[in-house]
């Protein structure tokens, strides 16, 4: 886990509304949230020395899509849990091959998110 006891999450999605929804869900669990709007900015977060326990990764984004961002993070040796969240059901194979830990279709709902977080042991 990142250095503090609080779970740190990075939300990566080009849609401000969806970032707001996912942020609100994660706040309910007491997580500390950072949001960025594309895959390149997600990479930059890690290159700047930030640490995260969890990444929620969209697929279709400008500058760098979620599959490429996932592959790049794994290539950098980042072992943070990555959950792919997209409407594109055909991208599951690509995301898992790139190194995502979980794949879930939008829309994300609170119980489904809780199950994933429990699976990662992020919830007490």
Of 17, 47, 49, 89, the one binding another protein (CB under 8 A) is 17
**Per-residue x/- mask for another protein, residues 36 to 55, rule CB under 8 A?**
--------------------
Q: Exactly one of 7, 9, 12, 21 binds another protein (CB under 8 A); which one? A: 21
3-class secondary structure for 7-33? CEEEEECCCHHHHHHHHHHHHHCCCEE
Q: Is 30 in the site for another protein (CB under 8 A)?
A: no
The CA distance from 103 to 95, in Å, is: 7
Q: How many CB atoms lie within 10 A of CB 20?
A: 13
Please report, as residue ranges, which positions from 75 to 114 form the binding site for another protein (by CB under 8 A).
Answer: 86-88, 106-110
**Least separation in angstroms between CB 60 and another protein:** 6
Output the CA angle 110-39-83, nearest 5 degrees: 30
Q: How far is the CB of 69 from another protein (least distance, A)?
A: 17
Tell me if 48 sits within 8 A of 76, measured CB to CB: no
| Residues near another protein (CB under 8 A) | 15-18, 20-21, 24-25, 27-28, 60, 86-88, 106-110
């Amino acid at each position: 886990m990142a250095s503090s006891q609080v779970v740190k999450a990075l939300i990566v999605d080009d849609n401000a509304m969806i970032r707001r929804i996912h942020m609100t869900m994660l706040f309910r669990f007491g997580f500390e949230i950072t949001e960025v709007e594309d895959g390149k900015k997600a990479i930059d977060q890690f290159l700047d020395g930030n640490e995260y326990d969890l990444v929620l990764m969209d697929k279709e984004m400008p500058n760098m899509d979620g599959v490429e961002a996932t592959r790049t993070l794994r290539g950098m040796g980042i072992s943070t849990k990555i959950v792919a969240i997209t409407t594109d059901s055909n991208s599951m194979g690509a995301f898992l091959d790139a190194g995502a830990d979980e794949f879930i279709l939008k829309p994300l709902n609170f119980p489904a998110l809780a199950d994933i977080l429990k699976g990662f042991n992020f919830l007490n």
